[in-house]
A and B are shown apart, each in its own frame.
Chain A
Amino acid sequence: MASPTIPAGRTPLQLTAKDFKSDQEVRWCPGCGDYAILAAVQGFMPELGIARENIVFVSGIGCSSRFPYYMNTYGMHSIHGRAPAIATGLSSSRPDLSVWVVTGDGDALSIGGNHLIHALRRNVNLKILLFNNRIYGLTKGQYSPTSELGKITKSTPAGSADSPFNPLSLALGAEATFVARTIDSDRKHLQSVLRAAAEHKGSAFVEIYQNCNIFNDGAFELIKDPETRDDHLIRLEQGQPITFGSQGQFSVVHPAGGFGLQVRETAGLGDERPVVHDATVAEPAYAFALSRLSGSDLNTTPIGVFRAVERPSYDELLAKQLTDATAGSTGTPEQMLTDLLHSGDTWAIL
């Protein structure tokens, strides 16, 4: 069957960040972390070498979900929680496109949780950017599925009784092939993670810690403040031992006989050695153990690429089925349709 008629690309690929800015006025609150992420994405997009018309941003509902309006690409601002489902239909029927999903902690993990996990399990070729500010911003300050237990908000004056999700643990449990975390304020790191996500074939899940300066200001201050940052932020580098601290005084180790990973003082390691980071380990237990190092308190928070493994993507598998099915067929679609209608037990009335 013919695919949609798309005129040959005309956009020259010498693009700059400016080419990715739409003519719409950006309307996030002054000081919102979303501005930094938007600038980082617009600044990084030209590197992809993909024409603007072949890029689509799909979002749900929430502050972050206004994102597509500000990108001079194709874009759809859809409905609450459903962006991964809509993007799945687009990506699997148009594998030629680079499809990005922009979502938030409420959008992706609360109302849209089902679609997120199923997109990840199918390994749909989507780049999913989850802006996690641990609060509902657009509805003015209720707790979210990533808010810490006991969070006091308008809807929980006595503190929330809900334990939060760890988004990366959730994504890994959903069989995600690419899982990473980064921070809105660290543009260089953010762009390096986006680059890795863009290069990944299949679903790439990126959690971006994002500050909501109106309803949850300073949520990530511990890992942003230069005074405290280095003692709490664990930068994962492929092939490098996992150590951190202002003096390199902490190491991540796999204790003999234990199940997960632990943070130890480097000085007291004895025979133990810091774990050497390898995001390509097939066994998801390693990345899962890494994801468990971080909790609501952010005390030991890894950022970087946790997991990047190869698995056939959903669109590839669907395309193969179509190719296999088409392989034996001859004749025009009209002839094939005539044959199909006349299949089975037929009889003629003269």
Chain B
Amino acid sequence: MAEQSEVTSEIDTATKRVERLDRVVIRFAGDSGDGMQLTGDRFTSETAQLGNDISTLPNFPAEIRAPAGTLPGVSSFQVHFADYDILTPGDAPNVLVAMNPAALKANLSDLPAGADIIVNTDEFTKRNLAKVGYAVSPLDDGSLDGYAVHPVGLTSMTVGALAELNVPKKDAERAKNMFALGLLSWMYSRPYSSTLRFLERKFAKRPDLVAANIAAFRAGWNFGETTEDFSVRYEVKPARMVPGTYRNITGNAALALGLVAASVRSKLPLFLGAYPITPASDILHELSKHKRFGITTMQAEDEIAAVGAALGASYGGALGVTTTSGPGVALKGETISLAIALELPLVIVDVQRAGPSTGMPTKTEQADLNMALYGRHGEAPLAVIAPKSPSDCFHAALEAARIALTYRTPVILLSDNYVANGSEPWLLPDVAELPDLSVEFATEPNGEDGKFLPYLRDPETLARPWAVPGTAGLEHRIGGLEKADRTGDISYDPANHDFMVRTRAARIEAIEVPDVAVEDPDDNARVLVLGWGSTYGPIGAACRALRHRGLPIAQAHLRHLSPLPANLGTVLKSYDKVVIPEMNLGQLAHVIRARYLVDAVPFNQVSGLPFTAATLEHMLEDVVKNG
């Protein structure tokens, strides 16, 4: 199994035995209204403070409040932390916190034998059990014998702990997630002062709720300390990480900050046009908080207006950005084509989700690659890039802006729900070392007789001049109609159209992108696994596990999907076998086979969930051993 844990030492203390672990995976699961995302987020933050490496995976239904106590209403948050660098949120939880029978039933099959299960017994009522089809409580029928079950009256103990605080019963019951957090924080020796500060901030307007939630947290902690049921406390030592300042960050937040950084480093005002859509809305929320950087965020009337306004802003000299998910990109297609014809910078962020149509809006998928590469009318090439992890979204946003501004082209950035909502520690970059994205607007006529030629290209980048309105002497008209080379005048000339179509393709191919790197530590692998986007973590973890077992394998991961790195063909042809795992039905594999005539083997999973490292390890082991 990939990323397997082991107990490395044991320490006895006066009160409880303390075991040292190298890694732990905890899953908090409950009803949508139980605050599991918040609980997981706080546990993650405490863990980050301790210096463990972390990876998280939130998993929640699209319904805001599905019927209480039902399987579709279960929301969970998984956190994986370790004393070494990890690449995924973990395959199988060592600990499940189940706030009700539905949470237990929905998650039980993911648990390995012997896992700890902490259940809120107060919710195991006849009615709640019946809702999920338990005739007999699984706590009583022996079906959980293979696990270490800890029955805890989370709700009643929380209410009891708050008896003297005079908070309404409903609020007291709702604080049970903090009791659970307190208990888990005790079990794993987490520093909790940041959580207390967080609660003070969150409930600043309701001092009674601050007191209630803190009291519930402490009650949970003290329960762990005193009860006989938990005889062991665990420690996971800090990971050995590159020195520097870190924060925990989700992909969406990192992407938003990357766009702010792109604005600062290009010295251009950022204009975001966006229409709310899961799972991309958080980028709009985040950017709307940073107006002091001169950022304009516009919640448009629809997806088409969102990209249209962004393109209008780009035309006026701003860094135009639109953020959306797959269905939104479909609506924006015509405007993206216009941006290709106008040859203006534009960044389109697609936080992919499971499709087609509404699909599964809160589940992940990589199935928009074809749309990004080909989903427009006419010959309409553009640049496509993808981040590989939550914190990498920051750098991917900067790279998207670099390409858009340098080459005057729309760029599609393919994030997905897995990296967007997942989180990991982020080594904060030195701002001065971020790429310089400054651009030069056209200021002078560039043609004979003082004429301005809007489609006269830079010979190296093939980019046309960016002449923004307000620049005297460069007044010109652009549009979606085919234009003549150099002058930009409307042209229906057959030879000119052929030339322009080829030129638009050539200018995308001319974009300079770094060579793809291959990770093959012993330089003896015969099998290459090629991935793109958010599969980096599970592929990397699977490769590590194989190498650890003496099975050589090489890993290459693509950030740039259009244009592809110049060395990719050579890399592919230097291995006996190329395997391409994707969360789609083989979209990159199709490109690779067509373009390089390489007999690449697709490996596909389209379940709405990321690959587990174990799944990939198993599959790759077979390829390495049997070819």
- Seen from chain A, the residues whose Cβ lies within 8 Å of a Cβ on chain B are 1-11, 22, 24, 51-54, 56, 58, 61, 68-69, 71-79, 82, 85-94, 96-97, 114-115, 118, 318, 321-322, 324-326, 328-329, 333-334, 336-338, 340-342, 344-350
The answer to whether B469 and A342 touch across the interface, beta carbons within 8 angstroms, is: no
The answer to whether A6 and B271 touch across the interface, beta carbons within 8 angstroms, is: no
The verdict on A349 contacting B242 (CB below 8 Å), with A88-B312, A326-B294 known, is yes
The answer to whether B469 and A53 touch across the interface, beta carbons within 8 angstroms, is: yes
A96→B312 CA distance, assembly (Å): 14
The verdict on A333 contacting B269 (CB below 8 Å), with A53-B471, A346-B246 known, is no
Residues of A within 8 A of B335 (CB): 79, 82
Could you say which of B290, B313, B477 contacts A77, with CB atoms under 8 Å apart? B477
The answer to whether A89 and B316 touch across the interface, beta carbons within 8 angstroms, is: yes
B432 within 8 A of A: yes
Stretch binding the partner chain, chosen from B178-186, B303-311, B403-411, B610-618: B303-311
Interface pairs (19), CB distance under 8 Å: A1-B295, A3-B294, A4-B468, A6-B441, A52-B472, A74-B477, A75-B479, A86-B315, A89-B273, A89-B312, A90-B469, A93-B313, A114-B301, A326-B292, A341-B431, A348-B246, A349-B51, A349-B238, A349-B245
The answer to whether A58 and B312 touch across the interface, beta carbons within 8 angstroms, is: yes
- Nearest chain A CB to B558 CB, angstrom units: 27
A82→B526 CA distance, assembly (Å): 53
- Nearest chain B CB to A47 CB, angstrom units: 19
A5→B317 CA distance, assembly (Å): 9
The answer to whether B264 and A4 touch across the interface, beta carbons within 8 angstroms, is: no
- Nearest chain A CB to B60 CB, angstrom units: 22
The answer to whether B291 and A321 touch across the interface, beta carbons within 8 angstroms, is: yes
Residues of B within 8 A of A76 (CB): 315, 342, 477-479
Most chain A CB within 10 A, of B48, B194, B315, is at B315
A89→B307 CA distance, assembly (Å): 9
Residues of B within 8 A of A321 (CB): 291
Residues of A within 8 A of B441 (CB): 4-6
Could you say which of A8, A73, A90 contacts B475, with CB atoms under 8 Å apart? A73
The answer to whether A1 and B480 touch across the interface, beta carbons within 8 angstroms, is: no
B429 within 8 A of A: yes
- Nearest chain A CB to B303 CB, angstrom units: 10
Q: Contact mask B39-80 → A, CB, 8 Å, 1/0?
A: 000000100110100000000000000000000000000000
The verdict on A89 contacting B473 (CB below 8 Å), with A76-B342, A342-B247, A345-B248 known, is no
A345→B54 CA distance, assembly (Å): 14
A321→B489 CA distance, assembly (Å): 39
Residues of B within 8 A of A325 (CB): 291-292
Residues of B within 8 A of A350 (CB): 243
Most chain A CB within 10 A, of B317, B472, B474, is at B472
- Nearest chain B CB to A1 CB, angstrom units: 3
**Which chain A residue lies CB-closest to B469?**
A74
The answer to whether B305 and A336 touch across the interface, beta carbons within 8 angstroms, is: no
Residues of B within 8 A of A333 (CB): 264, 267, 293
Q: Other than the known A74-B476, A88-B309, A92-B298, what 19 A-B pairs have Cβ atoms closer than 8 Å? A: A4-B268, A6-B471, A8-B472, A11-B472, A53-B470, A75-B477, A76-B315, A78-B480, A79-B334, A79-B335, A86-B309, A89-B315, A91-B312, A93-B317, A325-B292, A329-B292, A340-B290, A346-B428, A347-B245
